[in-house]
Amino acid sequence: MTKPIFIYWLPVALWAILIFAVSGLPGEDLPYVFSGQDLFFHVMEYAVLALLLNRALSRTSLKSYPQKKKLLLVIMACLIYAISDEFHQKFVPGRVASLADILLDGLGIVIGGIAYRGRN
């Protein structure tokens, strides 16, 4: 018996919503946890997004698609989301849009994409 498609796509949607929600928090509402947390969280949140998206694509719509092309699709889709997220932050009090954040997101995307690729 095959699993319903939402089992794979729901985590992608929920994670993207979580990223958007956290990005919508005003700067002064962000808790301080540890030094360098901004760098760490940018990389990790997009590594997870890339993992989840790659998993969803690999188990559903692009099951037979070559892994390298799937990885490029994951990277492009996640980067577009990262850019749109930075644009969104431009309108949030105490937050700014940053090219450095997009580069950190990109690093996380590549790490997550390669990590998933390595498991298959």
Q: Where are the domains of the chain?
A: 38-119
Question: Which amino acid, one-letter code, is at 76?
Answer: M
Residues 58/25, Cβ–Cβ less than 8 Å: no
Question: How far is residue 55's CA from residue 67's CA, in Å, rounded to a whole number?
Answer: 11
Whether the pLDDT of residue 117 is over 80: the answer is no
DSSP for the chain reads: -PPPTHHHHHHHHHHHHHHHHHHTS-GGGSPP-STTHHHHHHHHHHHHHHHHHHHHHHHTTTTTS-HHHHHHHHHHHHHHHHHHHHHHHTTSTT----HHHHHHHHHHHHHHHHHHHHH-
29-55 pLDDT, tens per residue?
Answer: 778 888 888 899 999 999 999 999 999
Q: Residues 19-31: what's their mean pLDDT? A: 86
| pLDDT one-digit tens code per residue, 68-95 | 888 999 999 999 999 999 999 999 998 8
pLDDT of residue 119: 62
Instruction: Give the pLDDT confidence score for residue 64 in this predicted structure.
Output: 77
Residues 6+ apart with CB under 8 A from 90: 96, 97
Say how far apart CA 110 and CA 43 lie, in whole Å. 9
